[in-house]
Chains A and B, each alone.
Chain A
Amino acid sequence: MASICDKDIPLRLHNIDAFIASYRNSLHSLRATALEAARSQSELAEVKAKLREAEDELVKALAVKTRREAKRMALKEAIVSVKGRIEDLKTSIQKQRTQNEECATVVSHHRLVLEVSEQKSNESSEHRDEVQEAISWYNRILGFQIEGGRGVKFSFKNINVDNPNEEFFFTIRHEDDVYTLLNCKPSVKDTDELIHELNNTNGLFKFVRTMRKKFQEVVAQGRLSMTTNEHQESAFISASGPVLSISTITEDNDHQDEPTKGNAHLQKQVNRRRVKSAILSPGSASSVRQSPRLKVSTQILKLYGDVGSTV
């Protein structure tokens, strides 16, 4: 029995020593592991912090990316919009150009029309001058004037030899197909009959000529009245002196002869060369001396022809 205990005790001590050594080793290993774990914890914390920072950075980056994307989209839309506007402007420019061309055409046309109008205006002015010249001829040479207004006023001069500038006139009004004598200076006999005839025959031009004759008769009547007075004086004188009376009668005879002589003089001065109606044909115009003034005469002839056809 003693031998068994002697064998086990050293063996057990040896096991205990081994165990103690193993425990010591294990403890040492655990300490190392703990230190390692602590270091790992520290590193983990750092890494977590870094991760959090990285996440923040990522979020920021994403935000920036989103903003940039939005901006890009906006720019894209803006570009599209601008391109569209450019197209619109091009279309508008083209339209404006077309309108400009149309306006230029219209302006050119108006310029031509204006030139033609100016030319016509000049011709019209020239024509008016010629017409005025012709009217002036009638006024000056024939002492005859026509004025429009309320009715038409016909005036004559060169009727009273003693006062050639004395004006004799009458005014005719034509309304509802009836002629009316508005006024007449001086008064003329038988105007009612003349107006009646005028309304029957519608011969205004002949009426005007007749009125001038009537005015001349009025003046002649005036002179005849003076002659009558002279005759009375003559009769008065004859009671006392027959010789003087004869002398007065002789003077009367001389006075009567004088108009006849004057008429003969007038007859002599007129070159009575009868020209046939060939003068009225257009072909004969070339045979007559050509001049700008002849235009008015030709126009008067045409007017006269028109008036004739109207009658």
Chain B
Amino acid sequence: MVLSMYASVTNIVPNLDEHSKISGYIVEKDKDAVEKFEYDTSKMTALDICNGIWKIISE
């Protein structure tokens, strides 16, 4: 129940297998499309990664 709300607000399906990188899929329900994203934690700060993802979410 709570998990579905997280997924619905963010439109994000995380890839839990990757530990060295932060990656997953952003689902665009209206366009019926899935966009993959990937961030290297050694090249970006957690803050930038977080806001980067939110920026894509809010497009």
Contact = CB atoms under 8 A, between A and B. Distances in A.
B7 to A, nearest CB: 5
Q: Which of A275, A300, A304 has the most CB of B within 10 A?
A: A300
Interface stretch (A20-28, A96-104, A138-146): A138-146
Contacts of B35: 272-275
A213 B34 contact: no
A50 B58 CA distance: 137
A277 B34 contact: yes
B43 to A, nearest CB: 7
A141 B36 CA distance: 16
A273 B15 contact: no
Given A270-B56, A274-B33, A158 B51 contact: yes
A143 B38 CA distance: 17
Interface residues of A, number: 52
Given A137-B14, A273-B36, A142 B50 contact: yes
Contacts of B39: 269-270
B44 to A, nearest CB: 6
A164 B39 CA distance: 19
Contact of B7 (A154, A269, A304, A311): A304
Interface in A181-204: 204
B47 A134 contact: no
A142 B12 contact: yes
A276 interface: yes
Contact of B16 (A157, A209, A293): A293
B8 A205 contact: yes
Contacts of A269: 39-40, 43-44, 52
Interface in B22-59: 22, 24-25, 27, 29, 32-40, 43-44, 46-58
B56 A135 contact: no
A148 interface: yes
What 4 A-B pairs come out closest when comparing CB atoms? A158-B50, A303-B4, A293-B16, A293-B17
Interface of A: 130-131, 133-135, 137-138, 141-144, 146, 148, 152, 154, 157-158, 161, 164, 204-205, 208-209, 212-213, 262, 266, 269-277, 279-280, 289, 291, 293-294, 296-297, 300-301, 303-304, 306-308, 311
Interface of B: 2-17, 22, 24-25, 27, 29, 32-40, 43-44, 46-58
9 contacts: A141-B50, A144-B6, A148-B2, A161-B47, A270-B56, A275-B34, A297-B15, A297-B24, A304-B13
Given A209-B9, A209-B54, 6 more contacts: A137-B14, A164-B47, A275-B25, A277-B32, A293-B17, A300-B7
